[in-house]
Each structure stands twice: as structure tokens, then as C-alpha cells.
Structure 1
Amino acid sequence: MNNSQYEYITTLQYRNKALKARVDAFENGSVYKKMEADYTSLLHTEESRIHKLEVALSKAHAQTVDVRNIWWEVLEDVFREHEKENAAYEARIKQLEQRILEVERQRDTALDDKKELRLKLYEALTELEEEKGKNMHLKAQLNRDYENSSKPSSQSVNHKKITNNREKTGRKPGGQPGHKGHGRKKQELTQPVIYLPAPQDVLDDPCFKKTGRIIKKQVIGIHLCMEVREYWADVYYNSQTGEHRHAEFPGGINDDVNYDGTVKAFLYLLNNNSNVSIDNAKDFLSNLTQGRLNISKGMVSNLNKQFSEATEEQRKKWFVDLQRCPVLNTDFTNARCDGRNMEVAIVASPDGLTQYYGREQKGHKGVAGTPVENYQGILVHDHDTTYYSYGSDHQECSTHMLRYLKDAMENEPDRTWAGKMRTLLQEAIHYSNSLGDDDPDAVKVDDFEKRYCKIIEEARNEYLDVPPSKYYPEGYNLFKRMEKYMHNHLLFLHDKRVPHNNNLSERQARKVKRKIKQVMTYRSFQSLEYFCDGLGVLVSLREQDPSNIYTNVSEIFDRKYRWSD
């Protein structure tokens, strides 16, 4: 017997033994008991699991019912909310429909208005064309002078100066030996001639004979003579009507005691021309009359108003004349009124007309109501950008520019552009002053402009290399300003009528400054306006007739002065 057979037999024996044991277990019933116990245990387990599942199913069913109820409630709430939203939308739709109807109505109205506006625009454009034609006509009048019209040279602003063709002799200035000279002007005699007797020793000496030549010397003095005129008028009574009548007194005689134009002009000129205070002016007149004339301060203060009212019509004419001038100088100066800072606008022309206007502030509100507001010529002014909204062209004061350039030279010594620009402006001013009657040389003017642009380019490079200091931006601002307003700094080279500075306005401004320094502050703005009205008339009258200013002012107060055209 080999090994494989032995292993096979052994395996069968083990299997037989195992099957026998299982048969014995079935025969004695132990297997059945175990199976029954396992079944009972399994049944109990399944019943427990089924019970749990039934409990869970019951809970799930209850939850399903609760969820269904909740969902019904939610659906009902959503439905109610939806109904509310639908109602709101319907109301909104109705409102929008009404608005659409209103908008359509407004659109129709707007279309009708647009049609009317088009008609008005057409009318406005037509009027504008007419105004342009009027402006063209006015400009033609402004440019007329004795060379292109019948206007005499004496009335032309730009009449030529007489050229000085005399050659230098090298002699000292003043009277030359042998020249008769110009002595003091002799006056017409108001008293009989006083003959001086010859010295006694001359009369006693028969050798002295009369030559027939008389030496005449005058002594001139002044004295104040008070003239008092009194008007009488008989009073008549009507016994039937009870009416009282008398002859009409001359105009201006209203009070028991009245002062004529000579007294008013004396006090007015002292106060406004000589800047003497009201107290000192009336005290001076009282001293001159040995105390007989003691005029009240109120009367002296009211002279400004009287003079303003008496010259109103002429100031209106001068206003138009100023607008017709081809060149105007304008400026502002400070004043005080009721403790507040005010401004005085100054408008002056080269032909001697000057007007002052009291204003509460500078800017466009300060320009309003002055000849500058509707001016169409060339304005000369300091660097106030407000003026660039008016006039046809502009010249900035070169004197101010020279000062600003000098300041830049002193505060920015490392930059060279300011010194070069200052030298250029000085040369341009000297060239303009040396022209006389000659017109500017276009080549020379072009050379000045090219040098100007070159210096501006150098300034730009200097500020690119070394930026300006935040503590001194004035130099850089001056460079930008001169770059932008080059034409307005060199306009005087193109037009001989244009001065290179604004000294005319600044000289007239000193008259206001001196008065403000004396008066300190005006009590009302109207008082400042009265002063400005009168000062403009005084300055203009002095330019027209400087020797008779007192007489002219007296006649103005008496309404006897005849204004020149």
C-alpha cells in the first residue's frame, strides 16, 4: 500500500467519524434543541427589529403628516403673499399707466414749447446778428482818428508826438548867457500906481537928469472879501381866498441863509482835493472870515452828495466816452466803509478821463456797472484774471513783472531765466520808448518774441532739473504765467497806443489812498460812492482846465458850468 492510498483511507475514516457523530446528535435530539434555541433567539431578534421598524415607521408617518401640514401652511402664506404682490403690481401698473399718460402729455407740451423756443432762438440769433453789426460799427468808430476820418488830431487819442530833431550842443541845461529868460508873470493892477520919490541927494544934485526909463516892480497879495446878497419879496394877501403870494426866489435859495458855489467849492476842494478834514476845513474858513462864517459839519459833509447829483448827466456822457476809447487803464484800490474793507474801481483813459466806482468787492461784481463791463477795446491792467473776460485784448503791467522777476532772482539765485527775462523786458521797453513816431520793426519784434520763447524753454528745463521749492513756488508760478500770457506781456511792441505799464491807473489810485488815509473810514457805502463820483469829475476837469478848477467847481454848484464836448 502506497502513501496516497493510505491518506485517502485516513480521510474517509475521519469523514465517516464526523458523519456518525452528526447522526448520533440527530438521534438523541440535541441538534433539534440547539436549532430550536437558535430559532427562538433569531425570532426574538427579528421581532424586536420589526417592532423598532414599526415605531420608526409610525414616527415617520407622524412627521410626514406634520410636514404636510406645515407645507400647506407655507403654501397658504406664499399664496396670500403672492396675492398681495399681485395686487401691489396691479396698483403699480395702474400708477405707471397714469404716469405714462402724464409723460405723454408733458412730451406733447414740451414739443410745443420746443417749437416756441426754436422761434425765440431764431429771433435771438437775428438780434445777435444785428448786435454784431452794431459792434462792428462801434469798433470802426473806435479805430477812427485823424488819419482815417475827419476827426481832428486834437481830439485823437493816438495823435503823434513832435519829434525832437535838435542836435546836442554839449551846453549845460537851463538858461544860456544872453537869454532874456522867463520871469514871474505880471498881473493886472487893482490899485493906483504908487510912484516912489527920488532920493533927496539925487534931487539936490543938478547933474542927475531923468532918462525916461521907469523900473516897475509889483507886489501881489490876496485877501478874502465876503459878499452877502439879500433878496426881498413882498408878500401879498388875497382877502377873498386867504391866499398868500410872493415873488419866486432864484433857484437854490431855499433857506433864510444860503451859501453860493464859491463857499461850497472852497470847502469841497479843501475836503476832497486837498484832503483836509471837515473840522479843519470849516475852521479855516471861519478864521479867514474872522469868525463870521461858522458852517456846520453836516452842511460840509452833504457837499459830496450835491456835487454828485450836479454832475450825474456829464458822468454818464463820460461813461460812454470811456467805452469808446481804444485803450483803457483799470485797477482796484482798497477803501474802508463802516469798518469793513471795500474796493474802488478805477477806469482811466490816456486822454484824461478818469472815473471811480465804489464797490463792495473785486472780481466780476466789482467790474459790473463800470465802462469795463461792456468794453470792446484794449485793457491795460495788473495781473487780475477777472479782466480777461472783458475787452478785445490785454496788456499786463510790465513794471509789476520787473518787480516779480527781481524777486525770483533774489530768491532763486541758482536759476538764470529770471535775470535773462528781466533784461529782455527792459530792452523791449527801452526799444518801445525809443520808437517815437516810428512803427515797430516787425523783424525786431519777432526777435524779441523768439528770445522770450527761448528763455521760457530754459526756465522749463531748469525747473525739470531742479523742481521748485514748496516754500517758494512764486518763481515757478511766474514762469507758468509768463508762458501762458506771453502775448499780453509784449502787446505794447505791436500797438503803439498801448503803454507797457499801468502807471496811469496807479497814479489815479493814489488820490483815493490819500483820501482814505485822511478819512480812515466812511460811515456809509453811499458816502463812498459820492466821493468817487466827485473825485472822477475833479480829476477829469483838472486834465481839461487845470487853472480854473475852483471856478469850475463853483459854477457846477451854482449849475452855471458849461461842459465841454
Structure 2
Amino acid sequence: MTKDEMNKQLLQQVNSLTSTVDSLNATINAQTQLIAQLNQTIQELKEQLNKNSKNSSKPPSSDGFKKPAPKSLRKPSGKKVGGQNGHQGTHLAVITAPDKIVTHMPSACEGCPHYQICKGTACIAEKRHVIDAVVTVNVTEHQALGLPICMLYGDTRRGAFPSDVKAAVQYGENLQSLAVALNIVGAVSIKRTHEILSGVFNIPIATGTISSMVKRCADSLSETVGKIKDKMIGSALGHFDETGTRVDKKLWWVHDASNCEYTYLDISPKRGNAGMEQCGVLPEFKGIAMHDCWASYWNYPDIQHAVCCAHLLRELTGIDENHSEQKWASAFIDLLLEMKKVKDKSVEKGKDFLSYYHYHKFDKKYDELIEQARKENPLPKTAEKKRGRKKKGKILALVERLANYKASVCLFIHNFNVPFDNNQAERDLRMKTKVSGCFRTEEGARDYLKIMSYVGTAHKQGYNAYEAIKNAITGHPDFIFE
């Protein structure tokens, strides 16, 4: 073999090895990217498994049987556990005179020849009361009397029944109110309501009759609920939230608009802007809207927004628990809680604003933590050029949200009428979630929400659910505005 042939052969081997190395490098790079993607997926799945109602926006119902251990964000106060000095407790008390009195002589006195004499001179050593309910059924018979001939005019006359007595046999307002209260407020199904009422009152009240009672009650509240809606539109502060439910096996959304005086609930097949427009409060609302920072709320730029800090605390807690390297999250939790503490102390002192020192301190600390968070979470560098915005990830997305909506996050310390959280809306929606979670028809869902809007408003005015429903059935639902 000549020298040229050897060189040529060696060159071919070098080219072959170079090609193999390039192929192996490409494989290694692909596997490295795959490993990085798999590690990212594993991290996301671990984070998903660690999410619960305490460190994310997931509802408590999603926790299942494995309830998360309570983790209070409040710092120890140094006070003893339990009620503090001066706290007025509550206990079971007798508010009316007893209907029946039973006396008990010492058992050792039984059979004594002086028993009657001693019983007459015995005094009360101690009293104990048993409070019970005695169920009775009251049947009122209305009789229309007829006169065969009038002595004055010579015609036949007959007495008229009251306007609310329309059938030969019907149920009274008390029983109707109880049936509606059990089914709607008590979240007892129509069938079980029938079983309970039939067993307690020994009245064979049909399931269809109970459904009709609920329907009539809801129909009587249409104008009243419309007035509640108008009250919310004109209010200075409104709490807004939404939650999913099932209507005819499909996902619908219950939208809530409420404050400390009124509750308005409506339903829509859409969660976002289309649902909010359909429910009709936000399009005409001019006050301060407290919400959970859901993107659709920002489609209303002409109103002032306040972000629920309780939602932020849960998200920050999730980052702190699942990403120990994110030091800024814990510091931001401390900042929000300190802001709340300082405001609460100012409110106790009768003030309606903070000092310049505190405003300056909180403003500076807020910006410093945002800058720290951005440094800890830089945008990922990618070699490939793709159209559109780069994927930020949940952590950086939260950082940018905190930065962009700083004024809305901190509004509660600048306007003392704005609360720290959106718990008002969540409490008003929680009444809905007590039901089985589904409705057979849209009409049934709307009837339910009408009654719950009315009952929720009545409760805020100091009236109990049974009293409110009874007023609705008797034709006086507007008593809540008096």
C-alpha cells in the first residue's frame, strides 16, 4: 500500500470517527434536553401533588380525606390559649318560662312515713332544664256561609274565602316556609324533605308539591332580587368571585357580587368576561371591585380594582413550600402580614390612614422584593427563535402580576374601607357549594340562586332564613329593605 493510499484511508477513518462523534454529541444534547424536560415535569408533578387548599387556589373540597395540616401565617401573640379576659362567651340558656316542672325528692326518702311533710317543706337545691320541640299540626277549616235569600234585597248571597285560601286543601305558610328552607338553605333533597316532613308532621306531602313550593317562592322574589342587583351596582365596594357547578351534566359558573349588606348570585355557562357581562353587575359597576386577580376582571379599566391578599398568601406559601431556593416568597408573606397588622392597629386607634413612615417603608420593601424575585427567576434562554412571548412559568408570572398590580395589591392600606381579603365573596359562594354540586335544569339553578341571594341578603340585615322565606311566601319580600 502506498503512502497516499494510507493517508486516504486514515482520512476516511477520521471523517467516519468525526461523523460518529457529531452523532453522539447530537444524541447527548438531545438526551440532555430530554432529561431537563423530564426533571421539569417531575418538579411540576411534585408541586401539583403538594398543592392543597392552604397553599394554592384549590378549594377545600379538593383536599379529599387527606386534609392538610393547618399552617397559620400569624406570628405567636404570647397570649394564653382560649378566651381572653373580658371575652363574653355563649352558652345554652332558657329564654322563656318552663312549660312543665318536675320535682325530684332524694331517693333515700322514699317509703319514709314523713315523706309528704318533708316534701312540702323542701326547697330548690338546683335547677336543670331540658329544651325540646313539640310538633303539632294545626288544621284551620274555612267555611263560606251562604244565605238562601237576603231579607233586604231578596237575592242569594255567599261568603268569600280569603285571597290566600285558593284550594279545597292546601298547606299553610309555616309548613311551606319550612319545606323551602330545608330544601334550599338546608341543602336537603326534595325526596328527603318529603320524608322528613311526612315523618315529623304525619302529612303525606308529595315531592311534586315541595317542588312547586320552591318554584312559587323563587318566582315571588324576581323583583326583590332585581333590587338587590341594583343595590350592588350602586355600591361603593363590591366583592366578586365565581365557582363552577353542574347544570344538566355540563359545567356552568355561579357568579357572585356581594358586600356586607347584599348578596347577588347569578349563573352563566361562561366563567370569564362573557359570563360577567351576562350577569350584569360589573358592566355598570363604578365602585371598588375586590377580586382574586382573575384576568377577566381587568377588562373593566374604568373601575378601581383591589386584589385579594389571601389568594396571594396561598400562592406565596405554595412557592415557599415547594421551592426552598425562592427566598423572596417568605419575605413577601411577612411584608403582606406586616402591612395588615399595622393597618389593623391604626383602625383600633380610630385612624383612617397610615403614617408617611409606614407608607414609604412598605413601598420601598415591596419594590426591593420584586427586584429580588426577578433576579432569582430570570427568563430562560432558548437557542430556538419562536414567535410570541417567552414562557415565564408560574413563579415569574406571579412576580410580574405583583409588580403590574402593585397599586391594587396595596389598596387596602391606602383606603381603609377596602379589606385585606375577598373572604366576603367566598363565604357567600360557600352557601351554594353546600348542595350536591349539580342541577338538572337551568331553571332550577336560577330558582335556587334567587332564593339564596334573598336569604343571604336577609341574613346580613339580621333576619334568619326561615323568617325571610316566610315573608316571601306571604308576599312581603321587600321587608329586607326597610
Please say whether Structure 1 and Structure 2 have the same fold, judged by a TM-score greater than 0.5: yes
1:186 corresponding residue in structure 2: 94
**When you count helix as a share of all residues, which structure comes out higher?**
1
Pairwise CA distance, 1:361 = 0.9
AA matched with 2:160: E
Change (3 A) 1:420 1:525: same
Pairwise CA distance, 1:556 = 2.1
Higher normalized contact order (CA 8 Å, seq sep 6+, divided by chain length) = 2
Q: CA RMSD in A?
A: 3.6
1:405 corresponding residue in structure 2: 316
1:329 has 2:239 as partner: yes
Partner SS state of residue 394, structure 1:
strand
Pairwise CA distance, 1:307 = 1.7
User: Aligned ranges for residues 74-89 of structure 1 at < 5 Å?
Assistant: none
Query: Following the alignment from structure 1 to structure 2, what is the Cα–Cα distance between the partners of residues 544 and 492?
Result: 25
Indicate conservation of the 8 Å contact 1:328/1:380, yes or no. yes
1:263 corresponds to which of 175, 182, 185: 175
1:248 corresponds to which of 147, 160, 175: 160
1:451 corresponding residue in structure 2: 365
Task: Give the gaps of 5 or more residues in structure 1.
Answer: 1-167
Query: Following the alignment from structure 2 to structure 1, what is the Cα–Cα distance between the partners of residues 119 and 97?
Result: 30
Q: TM-score, normalised by structure 1?
A: 0.60
Partner SS state of residue 229, structure 1:
coil
1:209-233: per-residue Cα shift (whole Å, max 9, x none)?
9587675543332111111112222
1:554 corresponds to which of 457, 470, 473: 470
1:283 corresponding residue in structure 2: 195
Indicate conservation of the 8 Å contact 1:331/1:382, yes or no. yes
Indicate conservation of the 8 Å contact 2:455/2:468, yes or no. no
1:284-330: per-residue Cα shift (whole Å, max 9, x none)?
1111123xx12222221233322222223332332232233321111
1:320 has 2:230 as partner: yes
AA matched with 1:441: S
Indicate conservation of the 8 Å contact 1:330/1:381, yes or no. yes
Pairwise CA distance, 1:486 = 0.8
Partner SS state of residue 471, structure 2:
helix
Partner SS state of residue 144, structure 2:
coil
Pairwise CA distance, 1:499 = 1.1
Change (3 A) 1:202 1:188: farther
AA matched with 1:355: Y
1:488 corresponding residue in structure 2: 408
AA matched with 1:480: E
Change (3 A) 1:320 1:218: same
Total equivalences in the alignment: 385
Pairwise CA distance, 1:465 = 8.0
Change (3 A) 1:512 1:181: closer
AA matched with 1:475: I
Query: Following the alignment from structure 1 to structure 2, what is the Cα–Cα distance between the partners of residues 422 and 467?
Result: 29
1:434 corresponds to which of 342, 345, 353: 345
2:448 corresponding residue in structure 1: 531
Query: Following the alignment from structure 1 to structure 2, what is the Cα–Cα distance between the partners of residues 412 and 181?
Result: 43
2:138 corresponding residue in structure 1: 227
Indicate conservation of the 8 Å contact 2:105/2:119, yes or no. no
Indicate conservation of the 8 Å contact 2:183/2:193, yes or no. yes
Partner SS state of residue 376, structure 1:
coil
User: Aligned ranges for residues 440-519 of structure 1 at < 5 Å?
Assistant: 440-464=354-378, 473-515=393-435, 518=436
Pairwise CA distance, 1:339 = 0.9
Partner SS state of residue 356, structure 1:
strand
1:242-294: per-residue Cα shift (whole Å, max 9, x none)?
x998543222332222112211111111111111111111101111123xx12
Pairwise CA distance, 1:410 = 4.5
1:368-409: per-residue Cα shift (whole Å, max 9, x none)?
343332111111101122222446311111121122223334
Query: Following the alignment from structure 2 to structure 1, what is the Cα–Cα distance between the partners of residues 247 and 474?
Result: 30
Change (3 A) 1:182 1:303: closer
Change (3 A) 1:203 1:445: farther
1:422 corresponds to which of 320, 324, 333: 333
User: Aligned ranges for residues 39-50 of structure 1 at < 5 Å?
Assistant: none
Query: Following the alignment from structure 1 to structure 2, what is the Cα–Cα distance between the partners of residues 499 and 356?
Result: 21
1:153-175: per-residue Cα shift (whole Å, max 9, x none)?
xxxxxxxxxxxxxxx99888659
Query: Following the alignment from structure 1 to structure 2, what is the Cα–Cα distance between the partners of residues 555 and 444?
Result: 50
Query: Following the alignment from structure 1 to structure 2, what is the Cα–Cα distance between the partners of residues 542 and 370?
Result: 23
Partner SS state of residue 280, structure 1:
helix
1:13 corresponding residue in structure 2: none
1:218 has 2:129 as partner: yes
Greater alpha carbon shift after TM alignment, 226-235 vs 325-334: 226-235
Task: Give the gaps of 5 or more residues in structure 2.
Answer: 1-76, 150-154, 383-389
Indicate conservation of the 8 Å contact 1:397/1:500, yes or no. yes
Query: Following the alignment from structure 1 to structure 2, what is the Cα–Cα distance between the partners of residues 397 and 374?
Result: 22
Indicate conservation of the 8 Å contact 1:337/1:522, yes or no. yes
User: Aligned ranges for residues 89-238 of structure 1 at < 5 Å?
Assistant: 184-189=92-97, 191=99, 193-194=101-102, 199=109, 203=114, 210=121, 216-234=127-145
Indicate conservation of the 8 Å contact 2:379/2:392, yes or no. no
Percent identity over the alignment? Answer: 21
Change (3 A) 1:213 1:372: same
Indicate conservation of the 8 Å contact 1:267/1:300, yes or no. yes
AA matched with 1:445: Y
1:353 corresponding residue in structure 2: 262
